[in-house]
Structure 1
Amino acid sequence: MSREKVYLVGTGPGDPELITIKAERIISSSDVLVYDDLIPPEIMGLANKNARTIYVGKRAGRHKMSQGEINSLLVQLAREGKRVARLKGGDPCIFGRCGEEAAYLKKHGVDFEIIPGISSATAGPVSVGIPPTHRHLSSSLRIVTAHEDPTKEDSLLDWENMAQDKGTIVFLMGASRIGAIAKRLIAEGMDKDRLCALVQDATTGFQRHVLSTLAKVEKDAKRMGIGSPCIMLVGDIAGMAHELFEPKSLPLEGTSVLITRPIHLAWESALRFFSQGARAYVYPLIEISELAFDIPDIESHDMFIFTSQNAVNLFMEKMLSSGRDSRIFSGIEIVAIGPSTADALYRYGITADIVAKFYTAEGIIEAIEAKGVKGRSICIPRAKGARPYLVDALQDMGAWVTEIPVYESRMPANADSESFYHMLAKVDSVIFTSPSGAMNALELLGDGATEILNTKMIVTIGPITAGFLKDSGLEPDLSANTHTDIGIIEAMKGARK
């Protein structure tokens, strides 16, 4: 079946969990993601590892590509036989220029589909306790672009009619025109004491809002430093915020982090950080490449040691494809480096007999040395080029060790210096979860590595990655005691107290 098709995808207002199921499916199966600044950055964690990402950043006054260039790009990619996801913040058809792109695709014979999304026009007010409509307060909702200059004489907007509106008016993309909008509405007859609300970065950990009146909103916005992206709501319904809004403080609120894990692990990581208030950007610095390997005579071994989820998944899938299943491990002792690896084993019907308390090779040795391994046959499916410590220590204890390289970590094909520098500029913290990821970061940054990384908070998953960075001349700011995402989050929370 032909794949060439362009999907114009709404990615929601900011909270990555507000994306639709269909949008998630399209993103994860697309060959190319064409995106700009206003999509939730966590969404990029849904991409498949072979997907190409193209940044076309469009914000007021700063265009990476013109609209015409974007239109041509979409047609070109489709004609190359690609499945393309054109990602847009909110709903693509609410001031997202979706209609223009769809018409251009139609004109050039390109198959396309529009995937609606949740708009900040409704999610923004709701996130601060303001339902856009209410049976007793507002029976209508008007959504207006604020990109048009309110002082323009030949306006396409009927400001006189709008000023008489007793319902709710939501202006999108209007952070720079808050004062002009308020003045124009008052000039056309709207009560200067009419309630209004501003919501910046709606539904994210950076969200801020202001409740005001038309007469005071410009001054209040400046006092609070309200900027883009921002919605402006006008209407009596704004008063509902006093009744319904419940402020909450998340421990990593206002923090922006860069997740460098492999793409297939990035989505879950991004959601964990987002749930704590952080804005999570995704830039995989390693990808997992399966190696050719043979399944050994499993029953001839006394113990299997798994040191990663990747090793579990690749080994088990290969075993299952050979016609065997988890029953073959009956009577064989299974060791997992940590709970995530143990969970991966459990998904294949295997319960780990031993889970290391410290999620390192040293932790594994500590967990099994009391049992004694002298004369036992141990198999370790793991990454090519992994630290030799585990094998050496087991052999020193008298074990017979078979090491099976089932994958290797390498630089992602679509990683490059320009895009990595661009991503680093967005964040205040960088998270490294492996020495190989840290090594690839240094390679991409070249001579500027130390200078730029020293401007960020460097957080590592554990001592091995921290040690690599120290040997490379960089001092990590934090290192997790528990070597998981949760451990990293706890370390960052502790540093903010």
Structure 2
Amino acid sequence: MMVGKVWLVGAGPSDPGLLTVKGKAVLEEAEVVVYDQLVGEGILYMMPKSAKKISVGKYSGNHTVAQERINEILVEEALKGKRVVRLKGGDPFLFGRGGEELELLCEHGIPYEIVPGITSAISVPAYAGIPVTHRDLTSSLHIITGHRKKGCQESIDYKSLVALGETTLVFLMGVAALPDICKGLIEAGMDITTPAAILERGTTAKQRKVIATVATLPEEAKKQNIGTPGIIVVGKVCSLSQTFAWAEKRILGGARVVVTRPKDKVSSLAAKLYNLGAEVVMLSGTYTKPIEDNTQFIEVLTTIKDYKWILFASEVAVDVFFDSLWHQQIDIRSLWNCHFAAVGPATRKAIEKRGIRVDYMPERYYGIELAKGIAAVVQPEDKVLVLIPKETDSEVVNYLSAAKIHLKAVPVYEIIYEINQQVCIEETDIVTFTSASTVRSFVKTMKDIDFHKVQAVCIGELTAKEAALYGMKITVSKEATIDSLIESVIEINNRGYSENAPKLGGIGSMEE
């Protein structure tokens, strides 16, 4: 029997940008992923679609799957010959019980690797403007677990910690024990004016911090209703938080933006939002695939030279078209008499990668604008081919049909919907939609959600019209571009969302 292998991967504190390069590479090759609740949604999105995903739901004070059972799952999956990734928040060996998981692997002779992660003990304070070490303020750093082993009565040695003098103390998993921790430090002789902080949901858009003293922190945290996950920092370095604050000062700092794009599309929108400081949640409930045994399309390809114009409203259609030419052994030189049109820059780029120059692209990247432009240039005898997704209403086809253009519309790919099981939409989230199909995907893949509370930013009126069917709160970007969409997100984030926010102009929808 072939034995698999286990990788213990530290996922970091939550921000997907803090996952190590090796961690990402290993995760993307996983056949089985066993993950904790504290792993960021952006990192969970990196799991392969084909991987078996096992949530063990571990977070402070709540283990839906016992540690012993987790250890057994790793062994069971590895013995099936699988590449197993044990994805843990922070670092596997810093109060992550990684050592316990290795013990059973060793007993069964299962090979493994450790991929260290960035610990929240350093990264979360950094995102709060707190350097855990500073030459003028501290001579050491000490990381303590505030969560004791079940049944263990041994308390933290506060006297030894206080005796360290000018140091930084970081307590992990200690939010529930905050009053006891502060009391213990004071009773052990710590100056009651020592700066202290509690940091909630660090590195996410919802991160919060309370900066006080070791004497006042419990009461201040209670007033602010601080909860888990969180860490406690005690030491003079906490006094630097306001001076060194940076995360919330980014253009989209504090914004959580949901990007709805197909899994097989690289999203420049997500990258730009992330670089502006947003917590980006990739919610891709769809993927595309060519229609199998597409006899209608094959028949069209055999007479492709008869078409004067070939219109593309998506990159997917471009790839399906040219790949099909190759599979049907049709020489690309047979296209010498064809003119090519693209709805926008991304689609144009996909065509030009195939060595074909685009003859027409509208100034405004909407399907309706593509249709109007083509209708104005075609001759009565010209045959026009439009490649569309299966069972999708196309504004290009609708307009050209009404204009009595000699048109052939052929479905060449289908959109597959998957039920979302990982992403929870919060009322303060901003959800972006670049086309009507992304709205449909969102609606079909989300369960148990009140769409009336969804703050939708849409490209084009057609997209907005689809969102309006479900009562979403809608803002429409001024132009059908990613940059214009981002400008609308920034405006909403700056003013705070209002149900009566003014709508911005725009028509149609961006390329699918």
Q: TM-score range by the shorter chain?
A: 0.7 to 0.9
Structure 1 residues 379, 85: CA separation in 2 closer, same or farther (over 3 Å shift)?
farther
Distance 2:175 2:272 in 1: 30
| 1:420-469 deviations in Å (ceiling 9; x for gaps) | 7x7346974555555555556655678x66xx223433454443344345
Distance 1:270 1:99 in 2: 36
Distance 1:454 1:323 in 2: 50
The residue type equivalent to 2:73 in the other structure is L
Residue 107 (structure 1) aligns with: 107
Distance 2:138 2:327 in 1: 60
Residue 309 (structure 1) aligns with: 315
Please tell me whether the aligned partners of residues 33 and 85 of structure 1 are also in contact (alpha carbons under 8 angstroms).
Answer: yes
Distance 2:113 2:233 in 1: 31
The residue type equivalent to 1:453 in the other structure is F
Please tell me whether the aligned partners of residues 9 and 117 of structure 1 are also in contact (alpha carbons under 8 angstroms).
Answer: yes
| 1:175-215 deviations in Å (ceiling 9; x for gaps) | 22222212211212222222333322222322222333212
Please tell me whether the aligned partners of residues 194 and 236 of structure 1 are also in contact (alpha carbons under 8 angstroms).
Answer: yes
Residue 491 (structure 2) aligns with: 494
1:66-145 mapped onto 2 (5 Å cutoff)? 66-145=66-145
Q: Unaligned stretches of 5+ in structure 2?
A: 496-512
1:321-336 mapped onto 2 (5 Å cutoff)? 332-336=338-342
Structure 1 residues 196, 308: CA separation in 2 closer, same or farther (over 3 Å shift)?
same
Residue 423 (structure 1) aligns with: 424
Tell me by how many angstroms 1:154 deviates. Answer: 2.3
Look up the SS of the partner of 2:193 in the other structure: coil
Look up the SS of the partner of 2:232 in the other structure: strand
| 1:300-339 deviations in Å (ceiling 9; x for gaps) | 5433322112223344455567899988877753322223
Residue 170 (structure 1) aligns with: 170
The residue type equivalent to 2:241 in the other structure is A
Distance 1:296 1:203 in 2: 55
Structure 1 residues 466, 371: CA separation in 2 closer, same or farther (over 3 Å shift)?
same
Structure 1 residues 126, 347: CA separation in 2 closer, same or farther (over 3 Å shift)?
farther
Distance 2:253 2:357 in 1: 37
The residue type equivalent to 2:343 in the other structure is I
| 1:373-404 deviations in Å (ceiling 9; x for gaps) | 53334343332223254235445656554544
Distance 1:38 1:137 in 2: 32
Structure 1 residues 184, 4: CA separation in 2 closer, same or farther (over 3 Å shift)?
same
1:125-274 mapped onto 2 (5 Å cutoff)? 125-148=125-148, 154-155=154-155, 157-165=156-164, 166-246=166-246, 248-250=248-250, 252-265=252-265, 269-274=269-274
Tell me by how many angstroms 1:257 deviates. Answer: 4.6
Distance 1:108 1:75 in 2: 8
Residue 478 (structure 1) aligns with: 475
| 1:144-176 deviations in Å (ceiling 9; x for gaps) | 111139xx8623x43221111232221112222
In the superposition, the TM-score normalised over structure 1's length comes to 0.83
Structure 1 residues 216, 393: CA separation in 2 closer, same or farther (over 3 Å shift)?
closer
Comparing 434-443 with 109-118, which one deviates more in the overlay? 434-443
Structure 1 residues 429, 387: CA separation in 2 closer, same or farther (over 3 Å shift)?
same
Structure 1 residues 30, 426: CA separation in 2 closer, same or farther (over 3 Å shift)?
farther
Residue 8 (structure 2) aligns with: 8
Please tell me whether the aligned partners of residues 194 and 236 of structure 2 are also in contact (alpha carbons under 8 angstroms).
Answer: yes
Residue 462 (structure 2) aligns with: 464
Structure 1 residues 326, 410: CA separation in 2 closer, same or farther (over 3 Å shift)?
same
Tell me by how many angstroms 1:408 deviates. Answer: 0.5
1:355 has 2:361 as partner: yes
The residue type equivalent to 2:319 in the other structure is N
1:41 has 2:38 as partner: no
Residue 390 (structure 2) aligns with: 384
Distance 1:94 1:328 in 2: 63
Distance 1:183 1:313 in 2: 65
Look up the SS of the partner of 1:354 in the other structure: coil
Q: What's the % identity of the aligned pairs?
A: 32
Please tell me whether the aligned partners of residues 380 and 404 of structure 1 are also in contact (alpha carbons under 8 angstroms).
Answer: yes
| 1:236-263 deviations in Å (ceiling 9; x for gaps) | 3333435433464455554445444322
Comparing 97-106 with 245-254, which one deviates more in the overlay? 245-254
Tell me by how many angstroms 1:23 deviates. Answer: 1.6
In the superposition, the TM-score normalised over structure 2's length comes to 0.81
Comparing 92-101 with 319-328, which one deviates more in the overlay? 319-328
